[in-house]
Chains A and B, each alone.
Chain A
Amino acid sequence: MSPLRSLLLFLVASTAPAVAADGPRVDFQRDIRPLLSENCFQCHGPDTRTRQGDLRLDIASEALAHDPPVLVPGQPKASRLWQRITSQDPQVRMPPRDSNRSLTRTQRELIRRWIAEGAEFRAHWSLVSPTRPRPPTFPANFLVRNTIDSFILARLRKTRLEFSPVADRRTLLRRLTLDLLGLPPTEKELSRFLADTRPGAWERTVDRLLASPRFGEHMSWNWLVASRYADTNGYQSDGTRMMWPWRAWVIRAFNDNLPFDRFTIEQLAGDLLPRPTPQQLVATGFNRNHPLNGEGGRIAEENRVEYVLDRTDTTATVWMALTLSCAKCHDHKFDPLTQKEYYRFSAYFNSLDETGRVDAKGNAKPVLTVDVIGRPGQKVETMVMRNRKSRRDTFVLKLARYDQPVRDEKLRHGTPAALLPLPEDTGSSRLGMARWLTDPDHPLTARVAVNRIWQVLFGTGLVKTSEDFGSQGEPPSHPELLDWLATEYIHRGWDTKAMLRLVVTSTTYRQSSIVPTRVPEADPYNRLLSRGPRYRLPAHVIRDQALAISGLLVEQLGGPSVKPYQPPGLWADFSFGKITYAADSGAKLYRRSLYTFWRRSIGPPNMFDEATRDICNVRPQRTNTPLHALTLLNDETYAEAARVLAERLLARTGNDAKRISRAFTLILARLPSAEEHDLLTATLERARQHYRDNPKNARAYRSVGRHVPQPDLDVTQVAAWGAVVSLLLNCDEAITRE
């Protein structure tokens, strides 16, 4: 058998659900709803206009009441559904051929069993408010450090798996520091942690990191991406805007641990709070971060409507992981969201005092002049939310076109009915909507937020599709844990740092990421977490890490965006010479990537795999291509970091062995093995010989980057050590969170 074939068979076998006839009851949520959603809802789901045969299969009351009966609980053979999905007649068989959908035998069998077991329906899990599940209990077990561990371990044991051993302390410190700060631990931090053998060392370290100003910077990155933050407007001309005061607000909010409910309310509706502070107004920039179209010949109203819809989609994705945007042109095909509800929700964003034009020096009104955080006396104008005096009418827009309103019915503001009802007294404004989102009974907000916290710490959310909690999204790997975490978040007053602390102090988080020789067949993707996940760091963290390790990083909080290195001609090439890139100099070259000027139409070229800032994005990508290798090998940023680190190593007295160990500690937070040590010694020797033979190259190497070279060092030595360091900075471990 070819390896490929056996691989496929393995995968097929390992992903098929258990179907033993005497197995446990079929679980509607896990086994049946996804099948019905994928294969049936398109024509027998929420969308009234395309519904066939007046049959709706997504809610029990309609599916079971259909006449003639489609489902007869307990009697598959008498159920038309079963008859239709097993018919041999292509005219009768469901799903129809032209739908390009089909059910496998296994899937049909699941449906048969489900009917036989009573055809029980339940509402989609994410639309029902989480109730606090009771955690599984274990006899005193040192591995179960907190409730997270009980849920994870209970699930592992169901599949006869156990936790992996705890990772070694160096790996752990590097992991934690990268996860919470987006930076590697310093030499001093590492040695202090290793020396701290008293109980509670881990918890103390966690608290130290959560209190670091670098924490807020790191956490802000994903929020900026979700909010489609950029320093320019996008589209034709791509003019510069002024939104970094909002960025500073986000960083401060994370550092001050602003509770998530307030974080939400201030960003969605800070302008409607009683006597809002200027910073609460700045917070509303969240929904002004969308692109602005300044193309000649564009109709301003078309732009304005586009922005309203963008805010609607973004808000639904970020807070509710709902694909509400699918209901723009028709009722949602899979989730109970109507087109009318889409436009009702859009009404919250439809009455801004805006024109659809870029009418405020690169910004678009409404704008606000504010003090810059941390720089008293300095003022800047930034975009905010502010309603106009009279409300605009909202209608359903045919095909989402601005010039095709369905004027038969003026729509009131409103939230989708399938979720939590909107309380009468808060119902009329954006503020009411924001409060509704943070209502403890809201079925989605807390779940979606804790899932993102999980995603930050494990690389993948408990719900892998962190952007879609709907019927077509992936069900949670640990539904009860997700609900427990959601209720815990609310219970703790939406305290984000507390939740992070809870997760990183668990055994689950502290497991080693070493892949066992025999990968558990029941869990090839490690979704059950029988080990720690191991994955490549995002590009922005790789860059920040290189700056930190080489000592180049300038730790300065907030402020305007900066322009670090970029290959010449990129912007000019893009804009036919209308816009050129002038890199900054000095400290501005070495700020964290968070502060890099982000041109929307052509982002920083070394930020591979980072989301573009055109639309909201909540799930990071991780791919592995030669272009990434070229970036890390050849980008001036990395070449300079290697050179400067080489100088740093050489500046301290010592021998080759000591320097190799120190480079390992700085880059990988560990010491080399004898084998690795020998390998690098040989590399160093060869590089030295190479540069002795090619002194011109050594001199050329010395002037890589603008950081002034240390004058008293031997150029051959610097170049040879630079080669060793660059090798280490490129090794898989250095760019991986282990």
Chain B
Amino acid sequence: MQPLADHHHLVNRRHFFGRSSVGIGTAALATLLDHESSAERLVNHFAPKAKRVIYLFQNGAPTQVDLYDHKPGLQRYRGKDLPKEIQGGQRLTTMTQGKSQKVLSTAWPFRPYGDCGTQISSLLPHIGSIADEICLVRSAYTEAINHAPAITLFLTGAEQPGRPSFGAWLSYGLGRETDELPTFCVMTSRDREASCGQFFYEWYWGSGFLPTYHQGVKFRGAGDPVLYLSNPGGIDQRLRRGLLDDLARLNRIRSREVGDPEIQTRIAQYEMAYKMQTSVPDLTNLSSEPRHILEMYGPDVARRGSFAHNCLLARRLAERGVRFVQLMHAGWDQHGNLPTQLATQCRDTDQPSAALVKDLKQRGLLDETLVIWGGEFGRTVFCQGDMDNKTKHGRDHHPRNFCLWMAGGGIRGGTTYGESDDFSYNVARDPFHVHDLQATVLHCLGIDHERLTYKFQGRQFRLTDVHGRVVREILT
């Protein structure tokens, strides 16, 4: 036996396309191999409910006041000052500091949806139509008040960049389900008007201090779907095949001479690269999708790089066993022209979000796929800008209370969790912190969030830092 060669072979399998058939936790192996993770305890802490996650991240912070947090009583306060005891001297951004805070009740009616009767805004009829599938959390909160730190907190567990992202942790903890595609895929899109969006930083899907093969692979909205996927000019796939065979031969000669098992890994990675040149175009080619499916996702689905298109790709990735699909959609940061921008944004996102859940369900995939929909914080109930001019007002950032929802793998559908006060300003019951979301999602995947750790700079780090509670109340 050549233990080292075997180990490298395994490491290779694990690195990018590995592990599925091997009966041992990836992380367990990692501990033995580099003594840097606490491993044998990592994987399958409990029976998992979900095998994968699709995170529909709504960049910019959707307004809970207008979409999910039903407060009919607010109409009476419209235009009046927010009571001081509600505001409670909390931290505001420089945009609304020291300015008057007049309550801006929502302009859209809410109505009950589904058998559960959950109240959702009429701006989101399609999401309303899946009300019985989702658990709507109405008591989410965070500490961060600016976009980048708040998104970073949701996606990496800390406000400052540098930690591994959610998907990287899952790749590290669970390994892969497919040999054809990366474990962790990312797609981005933005609002139609391109009026109020933030940039997507690479650390949102980075690997932090985990090995870089855990980082998300970005699927692009234009050009090659994956960077450097196409052959350069003048090289076709037939020639490439022959060259790769010769390259493998040359590498095997070297391997025989220098004995370094890493060469075997290299040969395998080049072969996988070749496979990706077929599997990725196959994934992104939607011509096999029947018309009724395309119609489910709405008219935008044909436009590459749109949220709808990405939602459909997310389903295709889930079908192919990708662990973590992170869709990021910008354009919720409605400070100044909320009525117009919000309506457009809802039209673009409502149907595809709901279609994804329905589509997964009709394929029997929803039970094993956890879908998350939410932004980095909420928006203020009070008005920013000109109260009386609806083209010139909006809402500022609001971390103290907001909404998000989850559906599928392990989540109790048709429910709500938590409650805000009468002004949708503070959490009134069952607070649900960012770290609680992370702990709960990991739990659904069979992972104890306190035991999925990686040692870096002398400390065992985890996604939930030193916090997080599994919110069992929302689990099946």
Contacts and interface: CB of A to CB of B under 8 A. Distances in A.
Interface of A: 3-4, 6-8, 10-12, 15, 100, 234-236, 238, 293, 295-299, 306, 323, 325-326, 333-335, 403, 465, 467-468, 470-474, 513-517, 519, 524, 534-536, 567-570, 573-577, 601-603, 605-606, 608-609, 612, 614-615, 621, 623-631, 633-636, 639, 673, 675-676, 679-680, 682-683, 686-687, 690, 694, 697-704, 719, 722-723, 726-728, 730-733, 736, 738
Nearest to B230: A634
B162 interface: yes
B3 A10 contact: yes
Interface string B24-65: 100000001101001001000000000000000000000000
A454 B397 CA distance: 49
Contacts of A608: 212
B270 A574 contact: no
A474 B194 CA distance: 49
B470 to A, nearest CB: 15
B373 interface: no
Interface string B197-235: 111111100100001110001001111101111111111
B90 to A, nearest CB: 12
A268 B270 CA distance: 45
B269 A624 contact: yes
A298 B3 contact: no
A726 B258 contact: no
A474 B457 CA distance: 10
A621 B269 contact: no
A238 B199 CA distance: 9
Given A10-B3, A567-B227, A621-B212, A534 B260 contact: yes
10 contacts: A297-B94, A524-B4, A534-B260, A576-B194, A612-B203, A625-B213, A633-B270, A636-B232, A731-B251, A732-B251
A626 B275 CA distance: 9
B270 A629 contact: yes
A700 B232 CA distance: 9
A628 B7 contact: no
Interface stretch (B10-18, B288-296, B399-407, B419-427): B10-18
A726 B243 contact: yes
Contacts of B265: 624
Given A567-B227, A697-B234, A514 B211 contact: no
Given A623-B15, A624-B15, A6 B1 contact: yes
A629 B459 CA distance: 33
A574 B24 contact: no
Given A608-B212, A612-B202, A698-B234, 11 more contacts: A11-B3, A236-B147, A325-B457, A567-B223, A576-B190, A576-B199, A626-B275, A676-B250, A701-B233, A723-B235, A732-B263
B41 A633 contact: no
A634 B206 contact: no
A514 B231 contact: no
B98 interface: no
A360 to B, nearest CB: 20
Contacts of B227: 567, 570, 605, 627, 630-631
Nearest to B255: A732
A570 B266 CA distance: 27
A6 B250 contact: no
B346 interface: no
B86 to A, nearest CB: 21
Nearest to B217: A627
A471 B198 CA distance: 41
Interface centre among B213, B235, B243, B266 (most CB of A within 10 A): B235
Contacts of B203: 612, 614
Interface of B: 1-4, 6-7, 10, 12, 15-17, 22-24, 32-33, 35, 38, 41, 91, 93-95, 145-148, 160-162, 188, 190, 194, 197-203, 206, 211-213, 217, 220-224, 226-236, 238-240, 242-243, 246-247, 249-251, 253-255, 257-263, 265-267, 269-270, 272-273, 275-277, 330, 396-397, 450-451, 453, 455, 457-459
A626 B270 contact: yes
Contacts of A298: 93-94, 146
Contacts of B221: 573
Given A8-B32, A626-B269, A675-B253, A468 B242 contact: no
B276 A626 contact: yes
Contacts of A633: 228, 231, 240, 270, 273
Contact of B3 (A472, A519, A686): A519
B269 A731 contact: no
Contacts, number: 274
Nearest to A306: B160
Contacts of B238: 690
A235 B148 CA distance: 7
| Closest 10 pairs (CB-CB, A-B) | A472-B458, A701-B234, A515-B259, A639-B232, A297-B93, A629-B273, A700-B234, A626-B273, A626-B272, A630-B228
Contacts of A636: 232
B127 to A, nearest CB: 25
A651 to B, nearest CB: 19
B243 A719 contact: no
Nearest to A298: B146
B228 A567 contact: yes
A572 B188 CA distance: 12
A601 B148 CA distance: 12
Contacts of A628: 269
A623 B240 CA distance: 24
Contact of A295 (B148, B228, B259, B457): B148
Given A624-B262, A629-B269, A738-B258, A519 B4 contact: yes
Contacts of B258: 513-515, 534, 738
Contacts of A465: 457-458
A25 B33 CA distance: 28
A8 B235 CA distance: 43
A30 B257 CA distance: 37
A295 B146 CA distance: 8
A623 B18 CA distance: 14
Nearest to A333: B459
A4 B24 contact: yes
A234 B190 CA distance: 20
A707 to B, nearest CB: 14
Given A514-B258, A514-B259, A701-B234, A727 B243 contact: yes
Given A683-B246, A727-B247, A468 B458 contact: yes
B450 A732 contact: no
Contact of B266 (A3, A576, A624, A635): A624
A323 B259 contact: no
Contacts of A299: 93-94
Contacts of A296: 95
